Amino acid sequence: MTCEKIGDPITTIINEPCEHHQALFTNNRIWLFGRKFVNQPSHNWGHNVALAGTYGVAFNITAKKWETPHHFSALSSEENVSEALFIFSGAIHILLFSAFGELAVKSLHKWTGTSWEPVHVQSFPPVCGDSLSDHVSLIVADGKDEKTKYFVSTVGHTMRVSRMKSSSDGVVVEHFMDIPRNVMTSPSGQAVSAVETDGRLLFFYGVHGCGFRWDNSRLVACDLNKKTCESVQVSGDAAPKWGFLGAHAHGLKHAGTWIHAVGAVRSGMTSSQYDGSIWALQNLTASPSWERFRGEVPASMGTDVAVDDKDGIVYGVGKEGVGRVNI
C-alpha cells in the first residue's frame, strides 16, 4: 500500500513547532505533544520532554485538518524527572517519574483536550538503584486492557515490572515483579518496547556497547499469573534492520499481531538513515516471527509516527504533511 497524503504540515497551524514531538492516536485524532530540550547538569545529561511546558495539537483524521493548538505550562521544574505518555482509560496521560538513582513515581496527569489535570496516584515507595548516577528508563506496554497498564523500567542493571490500575479516586501503581538477569543476553539490557496479551508480557530490549543496539531476534516473555520469565527466540531470517531503540511507533492490532513502524538504520559509527518500513511480530503466543507489510511511510511524512491499532493504520507527520498507510 502506498502512503496517502491526507493533510497539510504542522507549520500551517504552528509557525515554529518543536523539533521533537510525542505522537499518539486516539478518538480519531493524531495528537502531537511538543518536546523541548531540558538540561540536567547535575547528572551530565539532558533530554527532550513535554513536561517542560510546550503544546498539544491534534490532527482530525475525519475532517482532515489541524485543530487549534493548546499551550500548557511546565508540569515540573525538577531536574531529576522524566516522562512517559500513553493512552489509559481512553485518554492521554503523562506519567512523571525519577530520571536517576531510583525508581519513583512523581505524578500523573490526564489530558482533557485543552490542558493537563492531575490524577491522584497511590504508588509504591521509591526503589533505590545501585548508584545515584544510574539512569532510569521506563516504557509502557501496548495492550487492549484500557484499565490496566504495565510498565517495564530499567535502573542501572535492574529491570522491574510495575502495574497501574484504575481505583475509586484515581490510580494505583504497584511493583509487580522483578526481571531475572539470566533471561537476557547481557546484564546491560534495557527494555525498549513491550506488549501485554493473553496473560503474558513480552518485551524487546537493547544492549549497551559501541552505542546502543536493539536486539530484534529475541524477547523476554513473562507469565503474568506465575510471575516467571523466559527468553524467547524470534524465528525466521526476515527482520527489520532498525538499530538504536527499534521502531518509532508500535501497537497491538489484535491478539498475535504486534505492529512496529518506522525506525533508523545505523550508518557508520555515528550516523543513521531513515527507514519507513512497517513490520508486525506475529504469533506472539507460540513461535514469534517478523512479517513485513507492503506499505512504507516516506521520510517526508515520517518525522512523527502513530499507530491506529484498532483499524490497522500507520500515520506519519512530516515536512510535506500528514500521511497514512493502511496495513
pLDDT higher than threshold 80 for residue 267: yes
State the pLDDT at residue 185: 80
pLDDT above 90 for 74 = yes
Query: Among all chains, which residue has been given the C-alpha cell 538504520?
Result: 265
**pLDDT for residue 187:** 76
Q: What is the pLDDT of residues 116-174, one digit of tens each?
A: 999 999 999 999 988 999 999 999 999 988 899 999 999 988 999 999 999 999 999 99
**Which residues lie below 8 Å from residue 116, measured CB to CB, with a gap of 6+?**
72, 75, 94, 109, 110
Query: Which residues are CB-contacts of 59 (< 8 A; sequence separation ≥ 6)?
Result: 7, 29, 30, 32, 65, 66, 67, 317, 322
**pLDDT of 95 over the 80 cut:** yes
pLDDT in tens, 3-13: 999 999 999 99
**Mean pLDDT lowest among 132-146, 207-221, 276-290:** 207-221
Provide long-range contacts, Cβ within 8 A and 24+ apart, for 163-171. Answer: 164/88, 164/95, 166/89, 167/122, 169/120, 170/108, 170/119, 170/120, 170/121, 170/122, 171/88, 171/108, 171/119, 171/120, 171/121, 171/122
**Has residue 208 got a pLDDT over 80?**
no
Whether 251 has a pLDDT exceeding 80, the answer reads yes
Average pLDDT, the chain: 95
Q: What pLDDT, on a 0 to 100 scale, did the predictor assign at position 254?
A: 81
Confidence check: pLDDT of 270 > 80? no
| Mean pLDDT, residues 270-278 taken together | 92
Q: Grade residue 311 by pLDDT with cuts at 50, 70 and 90.
A: very high
| Bridge partner residues of 83 (DSSP) | 96
Map out the domains of the chain with their CATH numbers.
4-326 (2.120.10)
Looking at residue 188, what is its pLDDT? Answer: 78
Q: Is the pLDDT of residue 268 over 80?
A: no
Cell numbers describing residue 101: 538513582
* DSSP E strands, 224-320: 228-233, 249-254, 257-267, 271-282, 289-296, 304-308, 313-318
Specify the pLDDT at position 179: 96
pLDDT for position 292: 97
Under a CB-based contact definition with an 8 Å cutoff, are residues 53 and 75 in contact? yes
CA distance 206 to 194: 12
